[in-house]
Amino acid sequence: MEEKTDKENPLDTALIESLSVRKGHVRNRRWSWYYAPSFLLLWLALFYAIVIPLYYRLPDRLTVSRESLNPGTFVAERAQQQLYTYDRIGPKVTGSYANEVTTVAFLVNEIEKIRAEMRSDLYDLEIDVQSPTGGYVFNDMVNMYQGIHNVIVKLSTKSSDSESYLLLNSHFDSKPSSPGSGDDGTMVVVMLEVLRQMAISSTPFEHPLVFLFNGAEENPLQGSHGFITQHKWAANCKAFINLEVGGSGGRDLLFQSGPNNPWLMKYYRQHAKHPFATTMAEEIFQSGILPSDSDFRIFRDFGNIPGLDIAQIENGYVYHTVFDTVEAVPGRSIQNSGNNVLALVRAYSNASELYGTESDDGHAVFFDFLGLFFVYYTETTAIILNCLIGVICLVLVGSSLWRMSRQSEEVTLPQLSIWFLSILGLHVVGFLLSICLPLLMAVIFDAGDRSLTYFTSTWLVFGLFVVPAIIGLVLPLTLYYTLKPNDQLSHAYHLQLSLHAHLVVQALLALILTAMGIRSQYLCLISMIFYGGALLINLVSTLHDRGYYWALIVMCLQVLPFSYFCYIFYMFFVIFVPVLGRNGANTNPDLIIALVCGVCVFFALGYAAQFINMFRWPKLILLGLGVVTFIFCMIAVSDVGFPYRPKTNVMRANCLHTRRVIYEYDGSVSRSDSGYYFNYQDRRSFDPLQDSALDLTGLEPVANNCDNYVMCGIPCFYYSWCKWRQWDGWLPRESEVIIPGELTLEFLGKTVLESGTTARFQFELSGPPHMNLFIQPVGSAKVEDWSFVRKMLDEPEEFQPPYQIFHSYGTDNSSLKFFIDMEKSDGSFNDPTVEIAAVGHWVSYEFDRDPEATAFVAAFPDFVHVMEWPSIFNRYIF
C-alpha cells in the first residue's frame, strides 16, 4: 500500500490548536466574565468572616462573685462599680470643685480601701496629693499652671531595696460637659484595680510602683508635667505606662513606645494578654496628623524616660462629649485593658532592665497579627530582613522569567524582559491611579460641599473610595492586555507577569522606605513573604507552567496578608473617621480617608485585583465597578449621606458667648460689643445648620478683624484654636453677654532699664481658672525678655508674635504677676509699644450662663454637640 505524504494528509487545525503544547505548556481559556462578581464578593466575605470578628474579639468580663475562682485576675465588675461613682461626679474641668476636691476625695477614698485589703506584711503603700505650679512651652503657647492636683500612690515591697520605679499614669480631669467616663475614667479605674491586685498578691515584686492619677491632662498635659518635673518620686521613675482613651471601649492599642529601649517591646510581646499594636500607628501619631497629644510626650521630653503609650480607640464619636458616660463603656473592654495592664505591670516590676540608666539605641518594629500573636524585632533586624527578602523575591522573579522563556519557543529572555519592564511601568501607573482616583473622589465631593458623607454611614467608603482604587490599580494592565494582545506568550504567563510587577514594586518600595528610616515598611515585607512563598512553591512544583493552576496557590496564600492588611487599615479607619469630625474646617477630611482606602487596596488587593484579567471581558467588569461607584455617589448625596445623627454621631461646635472690650492707648474704649465666637470643628463649618431653627443672621468670618486686633479680636482657647482662627466665625449679639465673674489686667508701671532702649512693663492678672494673654509688639518694638519661660524668645525662627500665654489654676487663685521687657532701638516709650489681649474663660458648669446664651445654645439641632462657656476679651495698648 502506498504511504501518503504529509502534504497529502488533511489537517484538523482546530484540533491541533486546542491540543498544542509548547514544551509542556497548556493554553487555558479564561473564565467567563459573570464569575467576576463572585470572585470580588469572596474577598468582601473574607473581610466580614475573618477580619471583623478578630478585630472586635474581647475577653469575657470577670465578676466579683467569680473572683475567688480566678485569683490574681483583674476584676472588671469592681472597676465598673468605681466607674459608675466616678461618672456621677459629672464633668471634671480643671479648676472646678468637682475636679479639684470631689474627684480627689473619691480617689483617696478608693486607695484607702485598697490599703485596708493590702498584704501589709509584704508591702508599703504611700499616698501623696500633689499641688504643683509651673510652666513650659507646649506647641505654640506658653502653658502655665498653679495649684492643680495629682493623686500619687507608691506601692513597694518591704523586702526590696530597688530605687528604680515603674510609673503608671492616667488622668481624671475631663472636657467641659463630659463626665469623662471613657476619657479617661476607664483607665483611672483600671489603675485602681491593678493597684489592688498588686497590693493583695502573695507574690512580691522587685521594683516599686508609682500610680499617678493626674488632674490636669486636658489643659493640656499640665498634671504630668507637674509630677515629672517636681515630685520627689519622679527622679526614680525609670519607665512608664501611659493609659489613655480616644473614645469609649474597644481594645487598647499600643501606639507609641520608647524612645529607643526595645526591651520594652520584648516584654510586651512576652506578657501582653491581648496584644494590639503597630509601628505604623506610632509613626502616624508622631507625625502630627491626629489633632491630639498625650502625657507620653511629657514623660519622654521632660523626664527623659522610656515607656509605652496605650489607648482604647473604639467609638471616638463620644470622645469629649456629654455622651462619654459609663453606659457607653463596655465591661469587656475594661477587662481587656485590665488583663493587659496587670500582666505588663507584673512583668516590668520585675525587669532587670529597669536597673539600667542608659537607653538601648534603636527603635523596634512591632505589630500584632490579627490579635493572635505579636511580632517584634529591632530596626537593625528590619533592615537585614528587608534587603534579604527583597533580593530573594527579585531572584524568584528572574527565575520565573527564565522559566517562561524556556517553556516558549517563540520568546527569548531579553524579549520577555522588555515586556516585563513595560508591564512593570504600567503597574506603577496603576499604583498611582489607585491612590489618585480615591483622592479625586475626595476633591469632587468636597468641591460639592459633600465631605464627611461616610461619617455615620461608614459603608459608603466601599463605593466612594475602595472601588475607584481597585479600578485604578487594574485599569492600565487591562487596557494593555485587551488593546495590545500578545499571542507569543500565554495569557496565564501574562497574568503572572502582572503579579510579579506588583512584587517588584513592593520590593523597591520596601528598600526606599528602609533607606528613609520608616519602620512601617514591614507591610511590604509581609506582602513579599507570602507572594514570594507562593511563587517559590509554583516554581518547585512546576504549577508555574500549567495554565492557571498556579493561581490556586497564590490565592490561598493571599488570604492571610489580605486579612492582616484589612485588619490594620480598618483600625486606622475606626480611629480617623470620628477624629475627622473635629479636625477643623481648614482641611478636606475626605483626603485622609481616600488615602487610607487607596493604600489599603494596594496592599490588601494588590495581587488579587489583578485576577480580574483572568476573566473574559475585563473592561466590562471594570465598567461594572464604575457603575457601583456611581450608585454609591448617588446614595452619598442623598439623605443617607448626611453625616450626623443625634447622640451617636454628632456634629461638634465650640461656642463661646463673648463680651469684647477694645481699649486704646489713651485708655478710651473704642469698641464694646458682645457675640458668639464659633470655633468650627469640621469641614462643613455651620453649613448643615443653615436650614435649622437656629438664627445665624449676621454670621461673619473672624478673618474680617484680623488686621485690626491682636488674635483677630476673638477669645481663642488653646493653641490649636488660635492657629486656625481665620477659619472661625463671629455672630454679633445686640444685648450684652452676662459674664459670671471678673477679669482684671492691672498695669503696675513702666521702667526704662539702664540700656535706655529697653523698658520693663509690669502687670498683674487675676480672673477665672482659665485665662489667656496674647502679646503683640507694636511697630518696631520687640519683646526682649519676660517673666515667662524664655524658649519662645530664644527661638524666633520657630515662634513669632503674637505670643500666647495660657494660664490656669486649680485651687490656688492667687493673681499672676509678670513683666515684659520691650526693646525699641530709638528708646522712645511714650508711644504705643505693645498690644496685649487679656482673655478669661469661665469653662466649668459651676459658673452660670446667661439666659439668652442658654436659649441660643438650646436652639442648636439635636445632632449637634455644643461645647460652650462665657468668655471675655479685653484688648489694651501700652
* 267-280 mean pLDDT: 94
For residue range 603-630, list pLDDT tens digits in order: 999 999 999 999 989 999 999 999 999 9
256 and 139 assigned to the same domain: yes
Query: What residue has cell string 497574568?
Result: 495
* 254-278 mean pLDDT: 91
For residue range 631-666, list pLDDT tens digits in order: 999 999 999 999 999 999 999 999 999 999 999 999
What are the distances in angstroms from CA 203 to CA 71, 198, 200?
A: 12, 9, 9
* Domain endpoint, select from 641, 663, 693: 641
Does residue 40 belong to any structural domain of this protein?
yes
Does residue 285 belong to any structural domain of this protein?
yes
The reported pLDDT for the residue numbered 346 is: 98
345 and 412 assigned to the same domain: no
What are the distances in angstroms from CA 393 to CA 389, 398, 510?
A: 6, 9, 12
For residue range 856-870, list pLDDT tens digits in order: 999 999 999 999 999
Greater confidence, 259 or 289? 259
324 and 437 assigned to the same domain: no
* 412-423 mean pLDDT: 92
Q: Where are the beta strands (DSSP E) in 115-221?
A: 123-130, 134-138, 141-146, 150-157, 165-171, 209-214
169 and 218 assigned to the same domain: yes
Does residue 19 belong to any structural domain of this protein?
no
* Domain endpoint, select from 641, 667, 697: 641
642-670 in b/e form (b: 16+ CB < 10 A) is bbbeeeebbbbbbbbbbbbbbbeeeeeee
* 575-586 mean pLDDT: 93
pLDDT higher than 80, residue 575: yes
384 and 497 assigned to the same domain: yes
Q: Which of 38-42, 197-201, 260-264, 332-336 has the lowest mean pLDDT?
A: 260-264
395 and 502 assigned to the same domain: yes
In angstroms, the CA 728 to CA 584 distance is 9
442 and 306 assigned to the same domain: no
pLDDT higher than 60, residue 19: no
Which residue type does 70 have? N
* 680-690 mean pLDDT: 93
Does residue 592 belong to any structural domain of this protein?
yes
Does residue 93 belong to any structural domain of this protein?
yes
For residue range 73-91, list pLDDT tens digits in order: 999 999 999 999 999 999 9
pLDDT higher than 50, residue 22: no
Q: Read off the pLDDT band of 720 (50, 70, 90).
A: confident
* 34-40 mean pLDDT: 90
In angstroms, the CA 37 to CA 34 distance is 7
In angstroms, the CA 210 to CA 200 distance is 16
In angstroms, the CA 640 to CA 794 distance is 53
The reported pLDDT for the residue numbered 226 is: 98
What is the total residue count of the chain?
A: 878
Which residue type does 61 have? R
Q: Read off the pLDDT band of 14 (50, 70, 90).
A: very low
DSSP state of 862: T
Torsional class of 333: left (φ above 0), alpha (ψ -120 to 50), beta (otherwise): alpha
Domain total of the chain: 3
Which residue type does 699 have? L
Q: What is the DSSP string of 703-769?
A: GGGTTTSGGGG----SHHHHHTGGG-EEEEESSPPPPSS--EEEEEEEEE-TTSSEEEEEEEEE-SS
In angstroms, the CA 621 to CA 615 distance is 9
The reported pLDDT for the residue numbered 290 is: 67
CB contact at 8 A, 822 and 752 = no
Does residue 17 belong to any structural domain of this protein?
no
Does residue 21 belong to any structural domain of this protein?
no
Q: Read off the pLDDT band of 359 (50, 70, 90).
A: low
Neighbour tally for 324: CB within 10 Å: 30
Q: What is the pTM of this model?
A: 0.92
CB contact at 8 A, 348 and 166 = yes
145 and 221 assigned to the same domain: yes
The reported pLDDT for the residue numbered 361 is: 62
- 83 Cβ partners below 8 Å, 6+ apart? 181, 185, 186, 188, 189, 326, 329, 334
Identify the helix (H) or strand (E) that includes residue 243.
strand 237-245
- Would you give the distance in Å from CA 646 to the centre of its chain? 24
- 299 Cβ partners below 8 Å, 6+ apart? 167, 169, 224, 228, 237, 240, 242, 305, 307
**What is the extent of the structural domain holding 704?**
651-877
Q: How far apart are the first and last CA of the chain?
A: 126
CATH code for position 174: 3.40.630.10
Torsional class of 24: left (φ above 0), alpha (ψ -120 to 50), beta (otherwise): left
Minimal CA–CA distance to 848: which of 864, 869, 867? 869
CB contact at 8 A, 355 and 285 = no
Does residue 368 belong to any structural domain of this protein?
no
500 and 543 assigned to the same domain: yes
- 759 Cβ partners below 8 Å, 6+ apart? 750, 751, 752, 753, 821, 822, 824, 829, 833
Phi and psi torsions of 37, nearest 5°: -60, -40
In angstroms, the CA 358 to CA 361 distance is 9
pLDDT higher than 50, residue 2: no
807 and 661 assigned to the same domain: yes
The reported pLDDT for the residue numbered 189 is: 98
624 and 732 assigned to the same domain: no
442 and 339 assigned to the same domain: no
Q: Read off the pLDDT band of 691 (50, 70, 90).
A: confident
Q: Read off the pLDDT band of 261 (50, 70, 90).
A: confident
Q: Read off the pLDDT band of 34 (50, 70, 90).
A: confident
* Domain endpoint, select from 306, 335, 351: 351
For residue range 491-540, list pLDDT tens digits in order: 899 999 999 999 999 999 998 998 888 999 999 999 999 999 999 999 99
Minimal CA–CA distance to 657: which of 717, 725, 712, 737? 737
Question: What average pLDDT is seen over the chain?
Answer: 92
In angstroms, the CA 174 to CA 223 distance is 13
